[in-house]
Structure 1
Amino acid sequence: MNDSTTKKETILIIAAGLIIGAIAVGLVFFGNPANMGFCIACFIRDTTGALGFHSAAAVQYIRPEIVGLVLGAFILALVTKEFKPRGGSAPVTRFVIAMFVMIGCLMFLGCPFRMILRLAGGDFNALFGILGFVGGILLGVVFLKKGYTLKRSYSMQKTEGTIFTVLQLVILALLVAAPAFIHFTETDGGPGAKHAAIGISLVAGLVVGALAQRTRLCMVGGIRDVVLFGEWKLLSGFLAILVAAFIGNAILGFWNPGFAGQPIAHTDGLWNALGMALAGFGCVLLGGCPMRQLVLAGEGNTDSAVAVIGLAAGAAIAHNFGLASSAEGPTANGKAAVLVGIVVLLVIAACNSIRKKGAA
Structure 2
Amino acid sequence: MSKGVVVAAMSGGVDSAVTAALLKQEGYEVIGITLQIWQEHSEQGKYGGCCSLGAVEDARRAAAKIGIPHYVLNFRDYFADKVIDRFIEEYRWGRTPNPCVECNRTVKFEELLRQAENLGADFLATGHYARVRFNEQTGRYELLKARDSHKDQSYALYTLRQEALAKTLFPLGHIESKQETRRIARELGLPLANKPDSQEICFVPKEGYIAFLKEKAPTALRPGPIVDTSGRKIGEHPGVAFYTIGQRKRLPAGQKEALFVVALDAETNTVVVGPESELYAAGFLASECNWIALSGPPLEAPLAVQVKIRYNGQAASALIREGEERGTIVGCFMQPQRAVTPGQSAVFYGGEGAEAGQVVLGGGIIADALKQSS
TM range (shorter): under 0.3
Larger Rg: 2
Provide TM-score, normalisation by structure 1: 0.23
Structure in which a larger fraction of residues adopt helix: 1
Provide TM-score, normalisation by structure 2: 0.23
Structure in which a larger fraction of residues adopt strand: 2
